[in-house]
Structure 1
């Protein structure tokens, strides 16, 4: 049956859908030959836009069929309904093919988007009126499984983030404690150096004092020895002064002992 004889608008819509199906077929054939991930992503986006247009045209086709339902015979209505079902089935095949390629590229599937004016998730191409209860339940189970898997992945990511944060905090705490110990050790070393510096200064002053005393004693002994030598050489010399560094009585006593000998 020719759609143009039933409704020219239906025939025009059907022709546009056929053009899109040919473009989708050629696009997916080219997609299999593309190796670059970025080019594949762009190609998938273009094919997704075409499928959106096709979905819109199928809705227009269904709207016109409903408008013509009261003015056509049962055979024509059956033919139009079968044609609509075949269009939906063919589009679903491209949707499945697109999902397969999208999962390979790890990209978000626009057909499962939760919101958006043109998102396919808003109304799946498989219309609920054309799905059995078993298919609806199976589709719901699949969505629940996918949601559970996404939640599990999210929990795992959160747990890994918490573990990394805990390890980082422990490492920072250990480094802080180590820095505190280093600072304490530096303070102790600084205090020890100051104490050692004072001790060295005191030792230096004591050594200087001892040297002065030793020098003075050396001079006294040298003077005594010189006087003794002079007295031995010239015992009758009365002009020899007292011994340096000694009291006069002590000096005279030592000289008398030397003279008697």
Structure 2
């Protein structure tokens, strides 16, 4: 089926799917001729990867077909959907072949494993039958000793686990107490910070008050100095009262009045 006239991307995806389907057909034909179990498993893995890629490409094909529904006729869309269903059907046939090959491999492995167990059982029976009664007793005692040792090791492991659990619990308790102390210390630090902040505010207010008082004193001193300077420069100024200690002597004032 030529899809190049409809959509180049659809045609490219269909070509890739056809290549994978041909590769799957050839791969399963080769698989029938492979007798080695490990080689068959590797071949099946490769075929599984190809089927996974084919499934992904069919999904991309389906997505593009849905996008083309608005620009193509119903007959074209039906033809594309039929092609999609054909590819899905062929892929499903290979999936069924894969499941069949996997079930056959499992049966072969099961038969081989059963044979190995039977051989080991026969060897054990032959070994026991060749022993004398004393050897059987000694062997049984040896197995009992090994069992006792295994039980003792298990007890030691359990005791070690209990000890580790107790140490962990003690460590957690100590860490919990330490965290509680840290929280209490943080609360104390927070309280101290609040108290210090309040004290700093009070000190700031006191400093501001002291600054106001100093400013007023400075203004008073400046005023007094200004009056003194004016009195010295212009002693006849009646608008400024005499300041004690700065008035001129009485005799000098009388001489001024005579003049």
| TM-score, normalised with respect to structure 2 | 0.46
Q: Which has the higher contact order (CA 8 A, sep 6+)?
A: 2
